[in-house]
Structure 1
Amino acid sequence: MADERFIVAIGRIERALSRVEQLATPRATTGDGELVERHERLKAEALAAIQEIDKILAVQTDA
Structure 2
Amino acid sequence: MDADRCTSALARISAAAARMEAAVARAPHASDPDLEQRHAALKDAVAATLGDLDALIGDPA
* TM superposition score normalised by structure 2: 0.59
Unaligned regions of 5+ residues in structure 1, if any?
A: none
What are the ranges of 5 or more consecutive residues in structure 2 without an aligned counterpart? none
Larger relative contact order (CA 8 Å, sep ≥ 6): 1
Distance 1:51 1:43 in 2: 12
Instruction: Provide the C-alpha distance between the structure 1 equivalents of 2:24 and 2:43, rounded to a whole number of angstroms.
Output: 11
Q: What is the percentage of aligned positions where both structures have the same residue?
A: 12
Bigger radius of gyration: 1
How many residue pairs get matched? Answer: 57
Greater helix fraction, Structure 1 or Structure 2: 1
Q: Which stretches of structure 1, 4 residues or more, deviate above 6 A after TM superposition? A: none
With structure 1 as the length reference, what TM-score do the two structures score?
Answer: 0.58
Give, as a single letter, the amino acid of the residue that structure 2 aligns with 1:44.
Answer: A
Equivalent residue letter for 2:34? V
